[in-house]
């Protein structure tokens, strides 16, 4: 008996309706990327492993999908390594390539390779799939699209301000009002680690802190202790677990907390500049707030960091995020090339729009009308009209077989097609078309020009 086919966990098939809805999101994101002056590029689905490894922190590295070398990939592995089951060492010998984990590191590699062809500052956008060997759950997949916009070659904080505006503009255009744009600064986190005497544990500190909304205060403290951060240090960061107030009040508290850290105070000043500018410019529908526990557990962020949450009442992880990464291209040999970028989580945005019923009714791949098939002569007559309608960008189709009329009507109803067009001998003689509204049941006989107007 044949095995029932399946797909890997964390991946999905998409129906025509789902594809149409995804394309709707793509089109709004793309059009606004274009409006803000970003240019599209694309990079390969897989990169050399050494391009990706070591760029996302220890946790990120574990989630990278490795690709086995072609041919006899075990030939280079010694019997000793096989017996020892040293998977980390063996992996480097049997896998030289990996599926991309995100679009930012491949973009940094792209900039370094093509630096002589680019005009800086370079603003790019990229909409492509990425892969992560994560545990699948609602809103978290192993294969998903990212929609990124980045600027490299500018240290200006106005870029950070514009990215807040870009988030606000796109989510407003999608009808997704009331999203929460959270902002922080890695320099602030470095300053906090310095003040509490845990600078040598900065990565462990930020990775644990970033999990506050997932594992709670006790969970974060437990993880910090396990990573070697002292109880005294943890006691000093206690205020962060209940950090409330307006944006100016939070910034004032941070300035007081970090008074002994130059790095931390620099982060506070950057945060203050961005928030003051947004306050002056205003936002259409999004909410901006400072979140000092926001760490974005990726090693490459060095300045502002963003995370976007769905509107209040929608249970969903982040639907966007990003930040400043001054040193990323330096990893590939191009120094002093600052960058900042943001990403939109298409799949989660889709789920939120679906939950809130925000997809327009017009977002569909369904034809506007189905021409009923009565036979060879009638079909030939109908296809001439169909050609005219299609030239006017009207989606119509012909039922392929001269089946019973009830079957053809049922086909149209199941596909959500609103109109049926009937052409029999009488209509052919009069050069006319009978059009029936399958929702109301109303029908009328019209000329081709009238049919075109009716279906527009």
Other beta carbons within 10 Å of 165: 17
- Bridge partner list, 128: 146
Q: What is the pLDDT of residues 342-388, one digit of tens each?
A: 999 998 899 999 999 999 988 877 899 999 999 999 999 999 999 99
Q: What is the pLDDT of residues 94-112, one digit of tens each?
A: 778 999 999 988 999 999 9
Pairing of strands 320-324, 304-309: antiparallel
Question: Along the 456 residues of the chain, how does pLDDT read in single tens digits?
Answer: 678 999 999 999 999 889 999 999 999 999 999 999 999 999 999 999 999 998 887 888 889 999 988 877 777 777 666 766 767 777 777 778 999 999 988 999 999 999 999 999 999 999 999 999 988 887 678 999 999 999 999 999 999 999 999 999 999 999 999 999 999 999 998 898 888 877 777 777 777 877 877 788 888 888 888 888 888 877 777 777 778 899 999 999 999 889 989 999 999 999 999 999 999 999 999 999 999 888 875 567 889 999 999 999 998 888 999 999 887 788 888 988 999 999 999 988 999 999 999 999 888 778 999 999 999 999 999 999 999 999 999 999 999 999 999 999 999 999 989 999 999 999 999 999 999 999 999 999 999 999 999 998
**How far, in Å, CA of 415 to CA of 423, rounded?**
21
pTM of the predicted structure, to 2 decimals = 0.84
DSSP 5-45: P---TT-----HHHHHHHHHHHHHHHHHHHHTT-EE----S
**How far, in Å, CA of 436 to CA of 79, rounded?**
75
**How far, in Å, CA of 435 to CA of 442, rounded?**
8
- Bridge partner list, 341: 150, 323
Other beta carbons within 10 Å of 35: 11
Phi and psi dihedrals of 342, rounded to 5? Answer: -135, 160
Q: What is the pLDDT of residues 116-175, one digit of tens each?
A: 999 999 999 999 999 999 888 876 789 999 999 999 999 999 999 999 999 999 999 999
Segments in 120-211 forming alpha helices (H):
158-173, 186-195, 202-209
**How far, in Å, CA of 126 to CA of 187, rounded?**
27
**How far, in Å, CA of 455 to CA of 392, rounded?**
10
**How far, in Å, CA of 12 to CA of 19, rounded?**
12
Read off the tokens for 278: 């947004």
Read off the tokens for 121: 């500052």
Lay out the sheet containing 46-48: strands in order across: 46-48, 97-99, 66-67
**How far, in Å, CA of 20 to CA of 27, rounded?**
10
Give the number of C-alpha atoms closer than 13 A to the C-alpha of residue 431, restricted to the C-beta side. 3
- What value, to the nearest 5°, has the Cα angle with vertex 293 and ends 337 and 297? 50
Please say whether the beta carbons of 422 and 403 come within 8 A: no
**How far, in Å, CA of 189 to CA of 236, rounded?**
13
**How far, in Å, CA of 78 to CA of 117, rounded?**
44
Q: Which of 382, 388, 356, 393 is nearest to 435 (CA)?
A: 382
Please say whether the beta carbons of 111 and 151 come within 8 A: no
Pairing of strands 433-437, 443-446: antiparallel
**How far, in Å, CA of 320 to CA of 164, rounded?**
11
């Amino acid at each position: 008996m044949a095995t029932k086919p399946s797909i890997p966990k964390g991946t999905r098939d998409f129906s025509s309706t789902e594809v149409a809805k995804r394309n709707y999101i793509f089109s709004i994101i793309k059009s606004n990327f274009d409006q803000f002056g970003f240019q599209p590029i694309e990079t390969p689905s897989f990169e050399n492993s050494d391009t990706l490894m070591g760029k996302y922190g220890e946790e990120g590295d574990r989630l990278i999908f490795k690709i086995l070398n072609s041919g006899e990939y075990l030939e280079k592995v010694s019997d000793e390594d096989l017996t020892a089951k040293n998977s980390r060492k063996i992996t480097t010998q049997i896998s030289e390539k990996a599926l991309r984990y995100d679009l930012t590191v491949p973009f940094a590699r792209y900039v370094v390779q093509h630096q002589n062809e680019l005009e800086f500052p370079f603003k790019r956008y990229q909409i492509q799939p990425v892969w992560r060997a994560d545990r699948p759950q609602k809103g978290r997949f192993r294969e998903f699209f990212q929609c990124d916009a980045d600027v490299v070659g500018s240290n200006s904080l106005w870029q950070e301000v514009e990215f807040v505006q870009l988030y606000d503009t796109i989510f407003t255009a999608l009808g997704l009002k009331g999203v929460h744009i959270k902002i922080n600064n890695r320099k602030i986190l470095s300053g906090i680690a310095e003040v509490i005497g845990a600078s040598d544990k900065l990565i462990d500190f930020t990775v644990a802190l970033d999990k506050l909304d997932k594992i709670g205060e006790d969970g974060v403290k437990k993880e910090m202790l396990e990573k070697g951060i002292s109880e005294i240090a943890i006691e000093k960061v206690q205020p962060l677990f209940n950090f409330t107030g307006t944006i100016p009040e939070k910034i004032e508290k941070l300035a007081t907390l970090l008074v002994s850290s130059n790095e931390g105070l620099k982060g506070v000043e950057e945060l203050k500049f961005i928030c003051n500018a947004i306050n002056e410019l205003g936002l259409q529908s999004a909410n901006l707030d400072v979140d000092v526990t926001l760490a974005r557990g990726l090693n490459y962020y060095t300045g502002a960091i963003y995370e976007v949450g769905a509107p209040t009442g929608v249970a969903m992880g982040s639907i966007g995020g990003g930040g400043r990464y001054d040193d990323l291209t330096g990893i590939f040999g191009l120094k002093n090339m600052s960058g900042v970028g943001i990403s939109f989580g298409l799949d989660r945005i889709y789920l939120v729009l679906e939950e809130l019923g925000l997809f327009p009714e017009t977002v569909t791949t369904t034809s506007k009308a189905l021409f009923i098939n009565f036979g060879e002569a009638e079909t030939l007559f109908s296809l001439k009209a169909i050609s005219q309608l299609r030239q006017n960008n009207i989606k119509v189709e012909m039922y392929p077989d001269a089946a019973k009329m009830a079957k053809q009507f049922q086909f149209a109803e199941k596909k959500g097609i609103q109109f049926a067009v009937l052409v029999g001998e009488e209509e052919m003689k009069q050069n006319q078309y009978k059009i029936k509204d399958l929702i109301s049941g109303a029908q009328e006989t019209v000329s081709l020009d009238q049919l075109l107007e009716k279906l527009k």
